[in-house]
Amino acid sequence: MELAPLSIASCSKELQVTYQEWFCFADSDGDGRVTGNDALKFFTRSNLSRQDLKQVWAIADNKRQGYLGFPEFVTAMQVISLAQAGHPITQDLLDAKVDMENLKPPAMEGLEAKLAKKRNKSKTNQHDGGSWFSSKSIEKDKAKSWSMSTQSSKLQPFPTAKGSSSVTSVMDGLKRLYVKKLRPLEATYHFNDFVSPFLTSSDFDAKPMVMLLGQYSTGKTTFIQHMLRNSYPGAQIGPEPTTDRFVVVMSGPDERSIPGNTVAVQADTPFAGLTTFGSAFLSKFQCSQMPHPLLEHVTFVDTPGILSGEKQRDQRAYDFAGVTSWFATKCDLILLLFDPHKLDISDEFRQVISSLHGHDDKIRVVLNKAHQVDTQQLMRVYGALMWSLGKVLNTPEVTRVYIGSFNNRTESEVAAGPLGQELFKKEQEDLLADLNDIPKKSSDHKINEFVKRARAAKIHAHIISHLKKEMPAMMGKSKAQKKLIENLGDEFVKVQNEFHLPPGDFPDVDHFRNVLSGHNLDKFEKLNRKMIQVVDDMLAHDIPELLKYFRNPFG
């Protein structure tokens, strides 16, 4: 099984130079992104119908970013070239048996004359010996919109006025909305202390992540190696508890391991929020970097095996369930791994699964090492696993369970017989399809998490302001605070009834109570209805307008 990386399709170096020149010409503002307006002007030179160009954009922008980078632009040009040659435009067009290496560039009406004029004009302006379509124009600072978003208190129209910082992608728009509309609400009511640290630019730009959870020796590290067809730096595999730390496996220029304290302070990684778990955790956290085409699109999170009893609760000097919950918020997919001989879900494992509350849509269950049992035993193991999961996962729907042996064994080595081999093959194909969809759905996932965060921040503001309102003006503040914290569940119900809020969106009472005990309720702010209205307007108008503007420009 191998996850197909989403990279530039095979293309000769000569064509890449040509496409780079075309890309810089199409990129009207030189920010390294061909936006919808750029595509409308450039793609129509192909003389394809608007319906065909709509499909071209959909294939090229399969991550739904709202723009095309250089790799996506090359994909678009290849699809246009194939369409002009008479190939039907389908999602699997580039997977067809076509000689991409010798594929000619598409015919673009009037383009060569425009490029020749541009070249002649640039010769008189060149002083550094470089080309007007040098790589510098492609590698603009991606943090531009983040740093300039503080210049205006109101989200500007898409696109913004000439000379001002423009929003050129969905993520750019979300960054600006967060800084100007959501973050002030979070800061006012201490959302970062109770729920999640403030977001940074790297949180929006991060690659999609897949987290693997399970008891020790269920094959989590082996699963990652199986996907990469290679070992990552610092990987340890054995029948005993080997992985003793959280390991983020991500793309990098060379193979190396970076300690947790260093990773947490790097501005280009989305892990700054982990500092809230202290040095005890950061000493058990590391980042393993390696060059790999798959890691250009997906980041894996390998976790320590969940132990039973005192070792899990006391000997790990950090909040394991809290860290898991933090990663669950960031991840696009969560894989719970079991093996046929470790089906029992301990109280500690149950607590970790409970920390995934609110992320049920991300959870997939993998029954790994299924080659160790025969067909009859596999059927019994599957039934026992579903029975155990039914007591832990409080969802009315049936959880998807993948069955297989995700290691480097050949199919002839499995013990489940011909029926098992066929089953494993189909299950692996289904899981592969699920994983292949992750980069394509990454933008949608970030939007979904942003909206969830905005609603959580609103509810948090209502709770904090309600507790402030219940505090006496003069005498007995300490006694009143103690009573409010003890009866926090009842106060939640009052907030639900007063503002007609859904109970399922409220935070965990015990966790909220623990954090609340370290605060002075009298210091909290009263409800600022204007701030709440700003966030409501953002959810009702700004985000839909943002998505509308960066949808497929051809319809």
The 3-class SS string of 139-164 reads CCCCCHHHHHHHHCCCCCCCCCCCCC
Are 102 and 217 part of one and the same domain?
A: no
Are 234 and 117 part of one and the same domain?
A: no
Q: How far apart are CA 470 and CA 484, in angstroms?
A: 8
Q: How far apart are CA 442 and CA 445, in angstroms?
A: 5
Give the residue from 106, 137, 168 where a domain finishes: 137
Of the listed ranges 14-28, 82-96, 181-195, the least confidently predicted one is: 82-96
Residue 13 or 247, more confident? 247
pLDDT of residue 138: 41
Residue 299 bridge partners (DSSP)? 209
Tell me the CA distances in angstroms from 372 to 367, 378, 426, 429, 547, one per residue in order.
11, 9, 18, 20, 48
Are 312 and 217 part of one and the same domain?
A: yes
pLDDT at residue 212 above 90? yes
pLDDT of residue 154: 40
Using 50, 70 and 90 to split pLDDT, how confident is the model at 390? confident
- Provide the CATH number for the domain around residue 318: 3.40.50.300
Residue 212 domain-assigned (yes or no): yes
Mean pLDDT value of segment 488-517: 93
Give the residue from 137, 168, 186 where a domain finishes: 137
Q: How many structural domains are present in the chain?
A: 2
Of the listed ranges 82-86, 154-158, 257-261, 540-544, the least confidently predicted one is: 154-158
Nearest to 309 by CA among 269, 351, 277: 351
Residue 375, domain extent: 207-448
Give the residue from 448, 465, 488 where a domain finishes: 448
Residue 152 or 377, more confident? 377
Prediction pTM value: 0.82
- Provide the CATH number for the domain around residue 79: 1.10.238.10
Are 267 and 391 part of one and the same domain?
A: yes
CB atoms within 10 A of CB 123: 8
